[in-house]
Chain A
Amino acid sequence: MRNIERVLLFALLGAGARAQTPPASPYVGSETCGTCHEDIAKAFNKTPHHLVDGSDKKGGFDGKACESCHGPGAKHAESASAADIRNPGKLTAAAIDKTCLSCHLNQPTHIGRLASSHAKDLVACTTCHKIHATGSDELVVRKTEAINKQCEGCHLTVAAQFQKPFHHKIPEGSMSCVDCHNPHGSMKPAMTQSFGANEPGCLNCHGDKRGPFTFEHGPVRFEGCSSCHASHGSANPRMLDRPVVQQVCLECHANLPTVKTSGTIGVVPPAFHDLRSPRYQNCTVCHQKIHGSYVDRNLLQ
């Protein structure tokens, strides 16, 4: 019986030893990649992604940063053929995103990603993030002018709006597109940023419009600043949607006071507002607290 046990023991040990012999790995490691792709390797090592080579023990790509995106490179290293390696640049946007998100999905900036127009229009991560960061390309563009230039590359019509005389100071480089928009997505319309938790991102700079006011002006809360202002740029002063103040106001304040036929908010001003008199043509001369008043229900003070 003891002999049988010994035989079994050695048999099992032998099986274990055989199983421990690894098969030929399909991976070659980043150092091998760098021998041919020297420029890329040099630039890549200045990006945060180089940390994969030194620390991604959990993901299993420690020392294999290149192959974490390009897939196993042994065949390509042997043949030097482009056909033998995965080139994310030639994949579909969804496949590129899948590659990036295999590491980056669980990060706070991606909470609103699926609702973003970038995700819906299949704008891949690599459209904005140049992973190799060679030449003038950067992994994460951080300089204001470079951010704006990158966004303008696709958003031509928006870039044109900033050439209007009254605009947010994007062309001047005073602010960047990402000051107002989160390119990864947000739960707010047009992927706009938030102030604090869930307040409009406009309040990051326009803190005096925040309130809460004792007497609010409904559109500011219900539909935001863009209900009256063209937030990118306008030919009208104060970036208003209309050139004349009364036009901005009366297009909404047009409901009869007693009978609500349309079901919308906004009652016509009392009859003493005689528009033939210049005194009443610019509503904000009196209703100067148009964003909301702490004091007066008619937004006068």
Chain B
Amino acid sequence: MRVLHIVALLLPLAGQTPVDAQKPPETAAAPTVSQVATKDAAAPISPVPTAEPELSGWVDFGYRWRSGVNGSLETYRSVVNLGEGPKLFGADFTLIDPTKRLFDSMHVRASGWGGDPYGSFHLDAEKSKLYRFDADYRDLAYFNNLPSYADPLLTRGIVLDEQSFDTRRHIGSYSLEMLPGHWLVPYLAYDRDANSGSGVMAFVANSNEYAVPTGLRDTTNLYRGGIRFELRRFHATIEEGGTTFKSDQSLYQSPGATNPGYLTTPIFGQTLDLTSLAAAYGINGTSTYTKALFSSNALPWLDVYGQFLFSQPSSSVHYQEGATGNLYLPSEIVFYQSEQYLVSAAAKLPHTTANFGGEIRPLKRVRITESWLTDRMHDAGNSSSLQNIALTNAAQETAQLLASSLVSDYNQTETNIYLEVAPHLTLRGGYRYVWGDASDAVFPQAGELSGAEQAKLRRTVGLGGVNFRPIQKLLLTAETEVASSGGVYFNTSLYDYQKVRTQARYQATNSLSVALDFTYLNNENPTPGIRYTFRSQQEAASIFWSPGGGKIGTLQGSYSWSSLRSDISYLVPQTLTSAVSNYLEDAHTATALFNFNLGHWGVVAPKLTAGGSLFISSGSRPTSYYQPMAKLWVPMSKHVQAFAEWWFYGYGEAFYPYEGFGTHLGSIGLRYMR
């Protein structure tokens, strides 16, 4: 009977569970009139429509021609680098498995294969609630060879490929997330970044520099895995990871060849040269890291989040070098014929970051956010070296031990208050304080001048913002920062600055939208000896027009004007007199893209895309860069379209006219769709 009493008492309690407006009852609600009217007609909606084809997507392939590069091929390769030949321009496929056996859906994308400078491949597959797999691979060509960048003989008219490289970088990223959507989500990931190629670098001897071939090869592997706990009011992620790094750069000059270097002026009647060189870096690095993140909205009026990150990369290097030639040691005014240089070095960089913050909603129209960040790192390095110089009648050995230290302690706290003045007007005001210390030292200083340096960072910033939507189709936003500093790390750092950004977006009609963007930054450091003034301003407008709902065509266009002026004092090294470094850039940028539906020509309905972009600047480095283009699409059948494309790349430099180029690229190809 007592059991009966208890059951009787519990039944009403169970039944009286209130209906939460945010959490509807599990029990079936009484159907409304509309439901009754429509329920029979409405078939249950399947998550995956059965009518959908299993494989859908497209692939573009064809052939590209390039005209002769009218100008500098080196600059063309540095800026554009597109070649000719058969190409897989792009592909994009989705595969859906109606049986959902191995996966629900799989997406494959690829672009730029066939020797192009940036090929990519992406694959992702997922099975709902079981896994999500992402694979991403890129093959990038890095080429750079611009004499105006660093050629010490340029003024003599000698164009050297100094500081150049011709490499390919392979970047892969693979991740597997298990049980997505569950409260416990384990994941694993692997990233690889490998670079190899050749180039030219300077071998720096005591009194001369010699451009020599270099081989470049480095690889970074990143392994990581973690667990995410995702609950309704609480989340935490714990991740552990590690990397390995290997780099084997080498410099080499065959014995027998004579390299005069940059210094051609004889010293005491003798001309310096390099007759052979073999130098190799053997660099290895490892690191481990820990990442812990959490967030919680434990109370309806409070959200908090935090993170703790710690990494400790380390490296070790064994460098060896042997060189012969007529070399010179200025400190002892002596010529020598060969040198050997051995270095063993190591470095470690413990780096800790912590971040904590939250949002408080004390009133319906008021939100307060607060955040705090600290970031501390300390790079400690040491090296031991041994230099052996073979003089005419003797050998001279010099050993050196050095220790280095680079320390940074950065902190930041920020508060923002958001006030919803009216449903369409929100104001923001806030404050940020940034402080830190940095030091850079090498010991022993050995009488050198830049042995140890320290700097402090102290900055207060006032923050403001407004978000105003006077009508549904118009949105105006603005934000500003006004800062005052009591110390910064570098002469060109932000000091006393004012930053403004405004945006306007207007949806004039269903087929016409315009946007305006304005940014302004004024930074001044009045400290004697620096007197830095930096001012940049940029204004941009864009338009998107699709008359007739895009049936005729569409127009996308944008125009931007930017202005940048920088003046700062510096010391001329040879005289220690003060001078001013000026930089000025005034630039116009425009892009436009017209898509035309050319109507029906018999059974085909071709489409034309035309437009391009231009950049014209004046000031310290006047430059022009044009990229007009046109592309014609002609449908051949339900599944096949033909296309023809034309691009022109034109580049010009007022101060370095020999670096200009102009070239036409033409492509034809087919798109197969299903």
Contact = CB atoms under 8 A, between A and B. Distances in A.
A211 B347 contact: yes
Contacts of B529: 254-256, 261-262
Given A211-B315, A237-B78, A279-B262, A156 B233 contact: no
B644 interface: no
A72 B32 CA distance: 12
B576 A271 contact: yes
A105 to B, nearest CB: 5
Main SS of chain A's interface residues? Answer: loop
Contacts of A237: 78, 144, 146, 148-149
A129 interface: no
Interface string A187-207: 100000011111100001101
Interface string B494-528: 00000000010100000000011111000000011
Given A25-B24, A111-B293, A245 B149 contact: yes
A92 B420 contact: yes
Interface in B406-449: 406, 408, 414, 416, 418, 420, 423-424, 426, 428, 438, 440, 442, 449
Interface in B146-180: 146, 148-156, 162-163, 169, 171
29 contacts: A12-B12, A32-B35, A34-B42, A45-B47, A106-B231, A107-B235, A113-B305, A163-B591, A164-B589, A165-B651, A174-B138, A187-B307, A194-B309, A197-B289, A198-B351, A212-B313, A212-B348, A213-B381, A215-B442, A223-B490, A235-B621, A257-B450, A264-B493, A265-B455, A268-B573, A278-B155, A282-B149, A295-B281, A295-B343
A34 B317 CA distance: 65
Interface residues of A, number: 158
B336 interface: no
B484 interface: no
Given A111-B307, A197-B309, A262-B529, A297 B426 contact: no
A214 B576 contact: no
Given A108-B235, A156-B517, A211-B349, A165 B623 contact: yes
Top 6 nearest A-B pairs by Cβ distance?
A25-B29, A16-B11, A106-B235, A174-B118, A160-B560, A207-B220
A111 B625 contact: no
Interface stretch (B62-70, B536-544, B597-605, B663-671): B536-544
A296 to B, nearest CB: 8
A113 to B, nearest CB: 8
A153 B540 CA distance: 11
Contacts of B357: 114-115
Give the size range of B's interface with the partner.
35 or more
A216 B379 contact: yes
Interface string B588-621: 0101000000000000000000000111010011
Given A90-B472, A114-B357, A300-B204, A265 B42 contact: no
B4 interface: yes
A110 interface: yes
Interface string B206-241: 000100000010111010100010111111010101
B479 A210 contact: no
Nearest to A261: B529
Interface string A25-63: 111111110111000011001101011001101111110
Given A174-B120, A267-B450, A268-B571, A160 B540 contact: yes
Contacts of B239: 197
B15 A110 contact: no
Interface in B4-46: 4-5, 8-9, 11-16, 19-27, 29-30, 32-35, 38-39, 41-42, 44-46
Given A164-B615, A198-B351, A263 B426 contact: no
Interface stretch (B390-398, B579-587, B635-643): B579-587
B558 interface: yes
B573 A275 contact: yes
Contacts of B113: none
Interface string B103-124: 0000101011000011010001
B489 A34 contact: no
B419 to A, nearest CB: 11
B24 A27 contact: yes
B195 interface: yes
A45 B51 CA distance: 14
Contacts of A297: 383, 402, 404, 442
Main SS of chain B's interface residues? Answer: strand
A111 B303 CA distance: 11
B79 A285 contact: no
Contacts of B84: none
Interface in A105-160: 105-108, 110-115, 117, 119-122, 142-144, 153-157, 159-160
Contacts of A198: 289, 309-311, 351-353, 375
B67 to A, nearest CB: 19
Contacts of A196: 222, 224, 241, 243, 287, 289, 311
Contact of A106 (B233, B283, B313, B385): B233
B456 A263 contact: yes
Contacts of B109: 143
A120 B466 CA distance: 9
B560 A157 contact: yes
A268 B183 CA distance: 57
B338 interface: no
Interface string A245-280: 101001111111110111111111111111110111
A51 B130 CA distance: 13
A216 B348 CA distance: 11
Given A36-B38, A288-B202, 4 more contacts: A12-B9, A214-B345, A237-B146, A282-B152
Contacts of B188: none
B191 interface: yes
B133 to A, nearest CB: 14
B313 to A, nearest CB: 5
A278 B153 contact: yes
Contacts of A5: 1, 5
Given A144-B120, A285-B150, A159 B228 contact: no
B488 interface: yes
B171 A42 contact: no
A177 interface: no
A20 interface: yes
Contact of B371 (A114, A117, A166, A257): A114
